[in-house]
Amino acid sequence: MRPSEVQRLTVGETVDRYAEMVRAKSSTGALAPGTAEVYARDVHTFAELAGPVRVLDDLDGADVEEVLLRFARKPDGRRSRPVPSGPGPAQSASSQARFRRSVSAFFQYAVVAGWVQLNPMQAVTLRPKVRGGLRPERRALTTEQAEGLLGAAQELVVREPRGQGRADQRTGLRDGLIVLLLAAVGPRVSELTSADVEHFFVNAGTRYWRIFGKGGRTRDVPLPHPVALVLDAYLGEGRPALDRGREPKALLLSWRGRRLARGDVQAVIDRVLARVDPERRRSVTPHGLRHTTATHLLAAATDMDAVRRVLGHADLSTLGRYRDELPGELEAAMRVHPLLGSVAPPEAPS
């Protein structure tokens, strides 16, 4: 229920309260820590661009549009190379869309909290123009490219020297498992790096992975049999023996016994890609392998809700953003049209 009177608080005051609220949600498991930090960072940027001493309820749709435009032109500090000066945007379309979502969530909360009478986002029509969507590395691999990557991962697993050589040279099982899990199950990279050994269990003869996802939600995903075999081999022979006090629970470890980080996962993918035939090789990120999982499961006519549950999406509308176009899929669909199976071709003239 909304408060009966609007509190005339400044932008800076409301942003601080909102950031405190989302961080409290992350501590209770209602929000993933990374998501909470993104929200907090974006609303503080909003305050900086809108003016922290202005009263929040005085902002209208035009004021918010001006903030969105200023953010679009704001240099992206994450880039290693400076963006050329000019009238074009410095922020990518995806960054602009993320910032807009954060600001929208902030104003939805502000309405309920009694900081504004009306949500100014309802009057905002400015939207970032997406040029080409995601960059290629974040989109799904084709069937040929995916088979090349998985083949290279399987080759690493088969050729892994068992108990021979230096420990830092025996990473084939781990690297192969990482690629197989990413391509077959499609977890977020944070879900993969935070996985512990105890999160994997057997039920009625099937190996499951209990994935702890965004917003404190969990899902139990059955592993395909080939992936389960590699997991068992890694746990039995490939996972480093640990000294006391070293990450005893983490599934994926460096040869020194430390939990792998997000950047380590990309390095593993790149090493496996280097073994793929150049004609079937294409750079891909962990997010691109998540797209690969969704795209190929859906292309195989897998039930959409089952795919949603595998990926850990809250609703089916989110799943649509992970479905990428595959070459030849329209032609293949029309060749097996469900309405034309009983239509006989015309007879050849005698």
Task: Kindly list the catalytic residues.
Answer: 188, 214, 287, 290, 313, 322
| Tokens read off for 120 | 């100014």
Q: CA torsion angle for 166, 169, 173, 174 (degrees, to 10)? A: 110
| Tokens read off for 242 | 């640990």
Angle 261-262-268 from CA coordinates, rounded to 5°: 90
Query: Do the strands 200-203 and 218-222 form a parallel or antiparallel pair, or are they unpaired?
Result: unpaired
Rounded distance between C-alpha atoms, residue 184 and residue 297, angstroms = 9
Phi first, then psi, for residue 251 (nearest 5°) are -70, -50
- Tokens 């020194």 sit on residue: 256
Rounded distance between C-alpha atoms, residue 148 and residue 284, angstroms = 12
The maximal CA–CA distance of the chain, rounded, in angstroms, is 88
- Tokens 């080409």 sit on residue: 132
Contact (Cβ atoms closer than 8 angstroms) between residue 38 and residue 98: yes
Residues 6+ apart with CB under 8 A from 13: none
Rounded distance between C-alpha atoms, residue 311 and residue 27, angstroms = 23
- Tokens 């990374």 sit on residue: 34
Residues 6+ apart with CB under 8 A from 151: 276
Q: 270's torsion region: left (phi>0), alpha (psi -120 to 50) or beta?
A: alpha
Q: Name the burial class of residue 17, with classes exposed (0-12), middle (13-18) and buried (19+) by CB atoms within 10 angstroms of its CB.
A: middle
Walk across the sheet containing 218-222 and list its strands.
200-203, 206-212, 218-222
Phi first, then psi, for residue 277 (nearest 5°) are -55, 130
